[in-house]
Structure 1
Amino acid sequence: MRAVEIVRPGGPEQLTVREVPDPSPGPGEVLVDVTAAGVNRADLLQRQGHYPPPPGAPAWPGLEASGTVAALGDGVEGWTVGDRVAALVAGGAYAERLVVPSGQLLRVPDALDLVDAAGLPEAVCTAWSNLTGPGRLAPGERVLVHGGSGGIGSVAIQLVAAYGAWAATTAGGPERTARCLELGADLAVDHRSDDFVAAVRDATDGHGADVVLDVIGAGYLARNVEVLADEGRLVMIGMQQGRRAELDLGAVMTRRLTVTGTTLRSRTREAKAAIVADVATRAWPWLDDGRLRPVIGARLPLDEAAHAHELVESGNVFGKVLLLP
């Protein structure tokens, strides 16, 4: 089969399509013929040599895919050959075929385009598990999602709105903020020209955000603490603007704040299966009534993986970039 390999750590030019051995499913695994794969910032880090795949994962990038079930390993129940699926994986989605633990599959509704479904698994599982897990989000609370025009942010806005919470977001420029409002955000702040702390405080009558879901990292730490309501929760899931910053422990203690961070890729199969099961039960059904939908910025052939990485790196794409084998 064809897969995108990283020749050596470096820029997008280090991605190349090569023939690699076909995978075969082991016990509890499913072989998927890939229709499309989502491109994530974690893939860019892997390409640069900063985020190696966990043991046992393929060497080529890709954390999510959509496709059809091609074969079942021993002991797999609940799936049949030909099923339309979306998959959350630890690596290897940039390929024509992919082996997936059966517990990390989601059924794609008939009404949803199978290509576009590839833009959902990583974003939905990341956003949902962090909002409802360490974020402890409750209906009616106020949430600030940073990077609302990104692959995770554009999905997180929809999840917050569907869950019955108030959603604010940041994005770059009036066109992007307008599109975030269309996705269900109650407030969209242009981070290039406006102060999101003041905007959220004003919009909530001084209350602030009960939960902040942050992909920015060090660059926003101080302002994230400032925008939190008393007993607020800051959940960091990215480090686009650095990994080191100073934290005001006095504010954390006196206002009873929670500051935490998570990653998804390195978790065990059992932990991922639990997240996928929760998503399937509580969030995935929103695809049927239109409260959740994939937001796709570009669809490119597998041979243009380098260009796909350039698009994601530029930050100019609204939503997900997909690769089609």
Structure 2
Amino acid sequence: MNAEGLIEVVLPGKVEPEGLEIRHGAVPAAGPGQVVIRMEATGVSFAEQQMRRGRYYDQPAFPFVPGYDVVGTVLATGEGVDPDLVGTRVAALLKVGGWASHVRVDAADVVEVPDGVGAAQAETLVVNGITAWQMLHRKARVRAGQTVLVHGANGGVGSVLVQLARAAGAKVIGTASARHHDALRERGVTPVDYRDEDIAARVRELAPGGVDAVFDHVGGRGLVDSWRLLAPGGTLVSYGSASTRDNEGSKQWPVLELLGRVWLWNALPNRRRAYFFNVWAGRALARNRFRARLRADLTQVFTALQRGDVTARIAAQLPLGRAAEALRLAESGTVVGKVVLTP
């Protein structure tokens, strides 16, 4: 196995994409309870864009290998792991470490990818699909006939969210720039131009009684508008602070501010609820429950893909050695879908 050789992309510090480094080494061995995955696809998500700026609130110390998720084939198993897993295509949520030709993970953290689903297809739906599914069904508990507002409806998570919400029978209003509106309409989404329109006023026209759920990755001052747009009984799910990506100063403060707002709103006597969604919540305290929930939810997402409820939107596929170009492309805002890295 070690004859293959390990290739990984290293983020050495706060650098431009071209500052990423390529490192070579020995393929890791699978320890007890672990598997080694030969990477077939990994992705460029918003998290990596924040991490290279030092802005992701709980990123590790530099240097490290980024890569929030990975899809690949099990190359080796460690002690206590079923050896029949070798040759199986699996997906894993990592937070860091995915931008490598070989990735070692706990066997309990991998989810089998269904037959007929390609590696790049599956990759687009790992972190984005898990996030969208859990926010929609575990937090907001959206039901048929309800109306939801999705900010960044053309983005990585947003594009999956609108499709899952439509599959659940909800009416969807989505914010995006005008060039994405035709694509959103084709998916049954009512688009709102976040650049040229008064978003709150336009949403109130479309949903005079308020919306049943808002999914907000932007944070900042606009989060107050998101809260105010809720109907009685509605739910706000905040899951990011994209508006602060290029800010200086503390990377923790934007998240602490969001948590403070959520706590305050929930303390008020009203019939609305607010959540700050973190896909890793509960992992430290209830690891087995976290894993079971992740496995069940990602399986649901893959099933939705097979049914045609969700499509895999691949913006571009580039080899691992061109990670800098892939990151630059993802940050450009000119592509639709996920930028995928391959071996």
TM-score when normalising by structure 1? 0.88
Distance in 2 (CA, whole Å) between partners of 1:74 and 1:140 is 50
Distance in 2 (CA, whole Å) between partners of 1:78 and 1:211 is 45
The 1:311/1:252 distance shift into structure 2, 3 A limit, reads farther
Question: Aligned match of 1:301 in 319, 322, 325?
Answer: 319
Query: Quick check: 119-128 or 248-257, which moved more?
Result: 248-257
- Quick one: which amino acid aligns to residue 192 of structure 1? R
Question: Aligned match of 2:277 in 239, 245, 262?
Answer: 262
Question: Aligned match of 1:169 in 165, 168, 174?
Answer: 174
The 1:254/1:197 distance shift into structure 2, 3 A limit, reads farther
- Quick one: which amino acid aligns to residue 92 of structure 2? A
Contact 2:130–2:301 (CA under 8 A) maintained in structure 1:
no
SS across alignment from 2:318: strand
- The reply on whether 1:178 has 2:182 as its aligned counterpart is yes
Query: Quick check: 135-144 or 261-270, which moved more?
Result: 261-270
The 1:252/1:295 distance shift into structure 2, 3 A limit, reads farther
Distance in 2 (CA, whole Å) between partners of 1:297 and 1:255 is 42
Alpha-carbon deviation of 1:67?
1.3
Alpha-carbon deviation of 1:294?
1.4
Alpha-carbon deviation of 1:77?
4.7
Alpha-carbon deviation of 1:28?
2.9
- Give deviations 1:56-91, integer Å, cap 9, x for gaps: xx9200011211111122333596211122221131
Contact 1:155–1:295 (CA under 8 A) maintained in structure 2:
no
Q: How many residues align?
A: 320
Contact 2:131–2:279 (CA under 8 A) maintained in structure 1:
yes
Alpha-carbon deviation of 1:277?
2.2
Which aligned pairs between 1:142-161 and structure 2 lie closer than 5 A?
142-161=147-166
The 1:135/1:77 distance shift into structure 2, 3 A limit, reads farther
- The reply on whether 1:11 has 2:20 as its aligned counterpart is no
Distance in 1 (CA, whole Å) between partners of 2:265 and 2:50 is 34
CA RMSD for the aligned pairs?
Answer: 2.6
Distance in 1 (CA, whole Å) between partners of 2:93 and 2:325 is 23
Distance in 2 (CA, whole Å) between partners of 1:198 and 1:114 is 42
Question: Aligned match of 2:193 in 178, 190, 194?
Answer: 190
Alpha-carbon deviation of 1:288?
1.6
Query: Quick check: 215-224 or 75-84, which moved more?
Result: 75-84
Specify every segment of 5 or more residues in structure 2 that has no aligned partner in the other structure, as ranges. 1-5, 245-253
- Quick one: which amino acid aligns to residue 317 of structure 2? R
SS across alignment from 2:23: strand
Contact 1:85–1:108 (CA under 8 A) maintained in structure 2:
yes
Which aligned pairs between 1:35-114 and structure 2 lie closer than 5 A?
35-51=40-56, 53=59, 59-77=64-82, 80-114=85-119
Aligned-residue identity in percent: 35
Q: Which residue of 2 aligns with 1:226?
A: 228
Q: Which residue of 1 aligns with 2:202?
A: 199
SS across alignment from 1:65: strand
- The reply on whether 1:317 has 2:322 as its aligned counterpart is no
Distance in 2 (CA, whole Å) between partners of 1:214 and 1:104 is 28
Alpha-carbon deviation of 1:39?
0.8
- The reply on whether 1:274 has 2:274 as its aligned counterpart is no
Distance in 2 (CA, whole Å) between partners of 1:38 and 1:81 is 23
Alpha-carbon deviation of 1:254?
5.6
Specify every segment of 5 or more residues in structure 1 that has no aligned partner in the other structure, as ranges. none
Distance in 1 (CA, whole Å) between partners of 2:9 and 2:134 is 29
Query: Quick check: 119-128 or 272-281, which moved more?
Result: 272-281
- Give deviations 1:144-191, integer Å, cap 9, x for gaps: 111111111111111111222222211112x31221233x34312121
Distance in 1 (CA, whole Å) between partners of 2:193 and 2:336 is 14
Contact 2:114–2:302 (CA under 8 A) maintained in structure 1:
no
Distance in 2 (CA, whole Å) between partners of 1:129 and 1:250 is 21
Which aligned pairs between 1:217-256 and structure 2 lie closer than 5 A?
217-242=219-244, 243=254, 244=257, 253=268, 255-256=270-271
